[in-house]
Structure 1
Amino acid sequence: MSRLEVNKKKKKDALFHTAFELFTTKGLTKTTISDIADQAGVAKGTFYLYFKDKYDIRNKLVSHKTGELFFHAHEALSQTELTDFQEQVHFIVDHILTELEQNRTLLTFISKNLSWGIFKGAFEEKMPDEDYHFYQSYLDMLSQNKTSYRNPELLLFTIIELVGSSCYSCILYQQPISMEEYRPYLHNAITAIMKTFEEQS
């Protein structure tokens, strides 16, 4: 990476970091582009080199932050000896739930948009190349599995949407019950979902 590219990445990272801090303290509505640029130590015009407006940086931040969650979970999985696909999926879900329980600021920020970090098509522009793409790791895991699944993309989407919406309510509001109480039901539901997507031999 050239010095110019390194410098550009530093500026973009500074904008990301600052925007996240401001969005989670002041809120999206009260945060201006000038606030983000000033606190990041860059010119306002530099902001527009990377993002269209504050909603664009918010969306890309949600995608980036959820991508990080899945990266951390997959890294943790690689330290285990789990080889069964279903066990791997349950492990990843548990890891993400635990991380979100410990970081409610992040959970509030990403809201129920957990799948944004997986499916790049959610935005007009693709996620930057330096971001981690869990979907490829998921396909790699699936390729080493003995069981075949119909429409693996839809399978993953269904699981992650369920996890995202349920963890938001259970962790932040303990509604209808706490996450600790709900986890066994969630895992049973995931197992049932995976069963419905299995290809019959």
Structure 2
Amino acid sequence: MGKVENNKLNKQRSLLNSAFELFTTKGVSKTSIAEISSKAGMAKGTFYLYFRDKFDIRNRLISHESSLLFMAASKALDEELKTRSLNFTEKIIFIIDNIINALDSNQALLNFISKNLSWGIFKEALTTNVADNDINFLDVYHQIINDDEVNLKEPEIMLFLIVELISSTCYSAILYEEPVDINTAKPYIYATVRNIIKEHIIE
């Protein structure tokens, strides 16, 4: 990578980091582009060289932060599979558990993602890499399906239902302990996920 490209990447990363800090402390609606640019040490006009508007940088932050969560969960799964075998359902549960634990330990991130998440944004986050080391989770998802030779009807609908379940229950259980705390909720969440998967597996 040349000096010019490296400089552009550093500026983009600085804007992303500044936006994330402001979004998670003040909220997206109360954060201005001028504040993001100022915190990154740049003129407001520089922001528009990298992002269309505030919602573009928000969506790309969701993409990047989601990718980091999935990357860590995927790596943890790879390590787990070195010591024991898991079937398709157990692999999905393992990934979910890893992500829930990560969100439980970073509630600012959970609050940011959950408040701004829609299926359209999430689907883009699954497939769009912001940083060079981001992963395409849909590729990982389909690889798990292929590795286990699982025949699913409507795998994207199944993933949608699981994501919606996890997103809503984690938000309430982790941030507000409603209706119960997350550790109490986990067995019920995972039982529901197993049933969702069971309904989509073609025997």
Aligned residue number for residue 188 of structure 2: 185
Query: What runs of 5+ residues in structure 1 fail to find an aligned partner?
Result: none
Runs of 4+ in 1 over 6 A off after TM superposition: none
2: CA distance between counterparts of 1:41 and 1:110? 25
Matched, 1:31 2:31: yes
Q: Is 1:163 the counterpart of 2:166 in the alignment?
A: yes
Structure 1 distance, partners of 2:41, 2:59, is 22
Q: How does 1:23-172 map to 2 (within 5 A)?
A: 23-81=23-81, 82-111=85-114, 113=117, 119-120=123-124, 127-128=129-130, 130=132, 131-172=134-175
Cα RMSD of the aligned pairs, angstroms, is: 2.2
Using structure 1 for the length normalisation, give the TM-score.
0.90
Aligned length: 198
1:135-169 C-alpha deviation (Å, 9 max, x unpaired): 10111111011331112122112111111111111
Deviation digits for residues 101-157 of structure 1, max 9, x if unmatched? 10101111111528667512899xx55473321110111111011331112122112
Q: Distance in 2 between matches of 1:60 and 1:79?
A: 29
In structure 2, the partner of 1:20 is 20
Separation in 1, partners of 2:158, 2:26: 37
Unaligned runs of 5+ in 2: none
What amino acid maps onto 2:20 in structure 1? F
Distance (Å, rounded) in 2 between the aligned partners of 1:91 and 1:18: 32
Amino acid at match of 1:76: A
Confirm or deny: 8 A CA contact 2:126 2:138 kept in the other structure: no
Mark the CA change 1:152 to 1:184 in structure 2 (over 3 Å): closer, same or farther.
Answer: same
2:5 aligned partner, one-letter code: E
Check whether the contact 1:100–1:106 (CA below 8 A) recurs between aligned residues: yes
For the 8 Å contact 2:59–2:121, the answer to whether it is kept is no
TM-score, normalization by structure 2: 0.89
Q: Which deviates more, 51-60 or 160-169?
A: 51-60
Compared with structure 1, are the counterparts of its residues 147 and 59 closer, same or farther at alpha carbon in structure 2 (3 Å cutoff)? closer
Counterpart AA for 1:18: S
Change (3 A) 1:133 1:122: closer
CA distance in 2, matches of 1:116, 1:63: 11
Separation (CA, whole Å) in 1 of partners of 2:159 and 2:140: 12
Code of the residue aligned with 2:177 in structure 1: it is Q
Moved more, 89-98 or 131-140: 131-140
- Contact 2:129–2:135 (Cα < 8 Å) also in 1: no
| Residues 28-79 of structure 1: per-residue CA shift (max 9 Å, x gap) | 2332211111111222222101111112211221222112111111111111
